[in-house]
Amino acid sequence: MKIAFIMPTPFNLGGEQRVVTVVSNILTDLGYDIYIICTETKVKENREMYGLNNKVKVIFTRNNISLFGKIRRKIKKILLLLNRKYGILKKFLFILKYINSNKELEKEIINLYKEYKFDVMVGVADRFSIMLANIAKNTNAKLIGWQHSCYKSYFETKGIHFYNEEKLVKYMFATLDDYIVLSNLDKQKIKNKFNFECKTIYNPKSFELSTVSNLKNKVFLAAGRLEFVKGFDMLIEAFKIYKDMGGTWKLKIVGEGSQRENLQKMIDGYNLSNDIKLEGYTSNIIKYFLNASTYLLTSRWEGFGLVVIESFEAGLPVITFDIDVMKELINNGENGILVPCFDINKFAMEMYKVDKDSNLRNALGSEAKKTSYLFSYNKIAKIWEEILNN
C-alpha cells in the first residue's frame, strides 16, 4: 500500500515534524510504502534530525508560481486573515474554498497522485486537510485529514486555523474519508459541533528507554518552542514564586523561538539567571529527561503534548495546567499533577511539594513510566493500520 503524507517539511523543529517522522518509520517497518510530499522547498533534507528511515521516499514540490499567482496568493492571505478575525466571509462557502485553495500546488499534488498511484493520502494539519478535500474529485485514493492541535486552537481561537470557517469545515468533513484527532475529548467536541465521527490516534512516543531518571537531581525541565502558546512566561512567574517559598531546584528550558529575548529579560529582571537556563535547541533531548526530576508544562493549549509522553517514558513526574488534553493523559495525583488552568500560585505550590517530598516524586514517576506503555509503537501502529485498511 502506498501512503503519502503531505506537509511543509519534516526537516525542521516541531512536534508535528517529529510525530510524522515516527509514524512514517512505524508504517515503513510494517511494510507500507511511505512517501512524504514536502511543499517547503527551502528546507534541506535532514533525515538525522528525527531519524527518518531511509526507506521513506521524500518528494519536494516544484512550487512554480507565476507573478500573477504570487499576487493572488497574497490577496487570499489578506482575505483569510480578515475573515478569521472578523468573519466577513464566513457565510460564503464558495469564497472560503477559493481563499483556502492553492491551485498551482493542488495541480501538482494531483499529478503526483497520478504518477505514483497513492492508495492513501494524508493531509497533515489544517491547510493540507482542506487541500485534499479540494482535490477529492481528481483522485480515487483514500483521503485523511490529520489534526495536529486541539479543538480550542482549531475552532475557537480568533485569527487562526478554522476560526469563522464553519461552512468550510463542514465541507471538508463531508468530503474526506477520515479525520484524525489527538484526543477523545476533541473527538467528542467535533461530534457535538459538526456531527462528524472522527478517529482518535494518540501520538506515539518518539523513543523508548531501558532506563529512567533516578529523580535525585534538583532540576525541573520544560521544553518546546519559545512562543506565546507554550506559556513559558507563566512558568518563569511560577518559578519566581517557588523560589520565594524557599525552593532550591534549578529550571532548564530547552527550545528556541521568537520569545527568547523577552523570556531572558524576565529571567534577568527577577535575578534568576543562575537558576533558570534557556538551553536552546538540542538534538539529544533524552539527556535532559534523564537528568531532570520533574517535568513542567504551562502551555495555554496543546494538541497532544508529546513532551509529556516522553517525560513518562523517562519516569518523570509531570506538573501541568489542566488544559483539555492533559485531563486525558494525566490522572491527577497518580502519574502527575493537574493544576487549575493558569493558576500560577497553585502551580508554584505543587512545584514546592514535589521538591520537598521524594516519596511523592518517586510514586508519581513510577506510575508515569507505566502510563508510557499506552503510547508504544505497537499500540499506535495497530490503530493506524485499522484506519488505513478500513
The enclosing domain of 160 has a CATH number of 3.40.50.2000
DSSP 340: -
Q: Assess if residue 213 is contained within a domain.
A: no
Residue 14 and residue 154 in one domain? yes
User: Does the pLDDT value for residue 303 go beyond 90?
Assistant: no
The confidence score (pLDDT) of residue 15 equals: 83
- Tell me the residue range of the domain where 7 lies: 2-205+378-389
The confidence score (pLDDT) of residue 62 equals: 85
The confidence score (pLDDT) of residue 167 equals: 95
Q: Assess if residue 232 is contained within a domain.
A: yes
In terms of DSSP bridges, do strands 178-181 and 120-124 run parallel, antiparallel, or are they unpaired? unpaired
Residue 346 and residue 383 in one domain? no
Residue 83 and residue 12 in one domain? yes
Q: Is 248 exposed, middle or buried (0-12, 13-18, 19+ CB in 10 A)?
A: exposed
Residue 178 and residue 234 in one domain? no
Residue 175 and residue 226 in one domain? no
Strand order in the sheet with 318-321: 276-280, 250-254, 219-223, 294-297, 318-321, 337-339
Residue 186 and residue 226 in one domain? no
- The C-alpha atoms of residue 117 and residue 2 are separated, in whole angstroms, by 8
Q: Assess if residue 167 is contained within a domain.
A: yes
Residue 135 and residue 266 in one domain? no
The confidence score (pLDDT) of residue 295 equals: 98
Q: DSSP 3-state assignment of 222? A: strand
Residue 43 and residue 160 in one domain? yes
- Between CA 312 and CA 319, with CA 313 as vertex, the angle to 5 degrees is 20
Domain count, the chain: 2
- The C-alpha atoms of residue 135 and residue 241 are separated, in whole angstroms, by 53
Residue 156 and residue 266 in one domain? no
Residue 159 and residue 223 in one domain? no
- The C-alpha atoms of residue 22 and residue 73 are separated, in whole angstroms, by 32
216 falls in which pLDDT band (50, 70, 90)? very high
Q: Assess if residue 212 is contained within a domain.
A: no
Residue 244 and residue 132 in one domain? no
Quick one: which of 192, 194, 274, 195 has its CA closest to 239? 274
* Count of all residues that appear for the chain in the document: 390
Q: Assess if residue 7 is contained within a domain.
A: yes
User: Does the pLDDT value for residue 35 go beyond 80?
Assistant: yes
Mean pLDDT (whole number) for 49-64: 91
The helix/strand count (H/E) of the chain reads as 16, 13
Mean pLDDT (whole number) for 97-111: 93
- The C-alpha atoms of residue 213 and residue 291 are separated, in whole angstroms, by 6
Q: Assess if residue 322 is contained within a domain.
A: yes
Q: What is the DSSP string of 154-209?
A: HHSSTTSTTTT-HHHHHHHHHH-SEEEES-HHHHHHHHHHH----EE-PPPPS---
The confidence score (pLDDT) of residue 280 equals: 94
Q: Assess if residue 87 is contained within a domain.
A: yes
The confidence score (pLDDT) of residue 13 equals: 80
The mean predicted confidence, pLDDT, of the chain is 94
- The C-alpha atoms of residue 313 and residue 213 are separated, in whole angstroms, by 10
Instruction: Determine the longest span between alpha carbons in the chain, in angstroms.
Output: 66
User: Does the pLDDT value for residue 388 go beyond 90?
Assistant: yes
Phi and psi at 309, nearest 5°, equal -65, -40
Mean pLDDT (whole number) for 224-237: 96
**Which residues lie across from 36 on neighbouring strands?**
5, 58
Residue 6 and residue 136 in one domain? yes
**pTM for this structure?**
0.87
The confidence score (pLDDT) of residue 129 equals: 97
Mean pLDDT (whole number) for 222-233: 95
28 falls in which pLDDT band (50, 70, 90)? very high
- The C-alpha atoms of residue 123 and residue 155 are separated, in whole angstroms, by 18
To which H or E segment does residue 6 belong?
strand 2-7
Q: Assess if residue 214 is contained within a domain.
A: no
